[in-house]
């Protein structure tokens, strides 16, 4: 991963083999980021997307075992109740035939690159488990 500060923003270039969520949380911890907005484009060798089933209160995981374009990736970096960084990221992935699939990004292996722009905000925001949904929601 290559990193460069650009004004108030950070630009990260993830490289082949980097795992998206782990790279973001590792960088956030090292940089002391308490809350930030994240956006990216690029490509993945494989991924796992998810869809939250509110009736079952759990995610359905959708593994993707082929090269896909990251048409759009949006999300946030925050902190969990324990203070550890949390990356909450959604992605729309494009297949070679032009179709797309979107959802919560659980895992993504970069190939060949993912261009990430991160906009930190001044105040730390933590996530707190919501008893109704079971999800760790922003505590705002």
pLDDT digits (tens, 9 = 90+) for 77-115: 999 999 999 999 999 999 999 999 999 999 999 999 999
Domains and CATH numbers, the chain: 2-123 (3.30.1330.80)
Tokens at 124, concatenated: 């730390």
Output DSSP code: residue 95: -
Q: Name residue, tokens 């990004």.
A: 105
Instruction: Judge contact between 100 and 64, C-beta under 8 A.
Output: no
What are the pLDDT digits (tens) for 43-86?
999 999 999 999 999 999 999 999 999 999 999 999 999 999 99
Burial 93-124 (b: 16+ CB within 10 A, else e): bbeeeeeebbbbbbbbbbbebbebebebeeee
Alpha helices per DSSP H over the chain: 20-31
């Amino acid at each position: 991963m290559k990193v460069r500060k650009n004004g108030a923003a950070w630009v990260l270039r993830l490289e082949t083999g980097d795992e998206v969520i782990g790279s973001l949380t590792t960088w956030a911890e090292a940089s002391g980021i308490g809350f930030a907005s994240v956006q990216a484009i690029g490509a993945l060798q494989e991924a796992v997307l998810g869809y939250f089933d509110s009736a079952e209160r759990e995610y359905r995981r959708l593994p993707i075992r082929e090269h896909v374009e990251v048409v759009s990736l949006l999300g946030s970096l925050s902190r969990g109740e324990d203070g550890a960084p949390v990356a909450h990221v959604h992605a729309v992935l494009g297949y070679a035939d032009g179709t797309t699939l979107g959802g919560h990004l659980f895992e993504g292996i970069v190939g060949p690159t993912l261009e990430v722009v991160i906009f930190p905000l001044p105040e730390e925001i933590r996530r707190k488990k919501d008893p109704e949904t079971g999800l760790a929601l922003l505590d705002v």
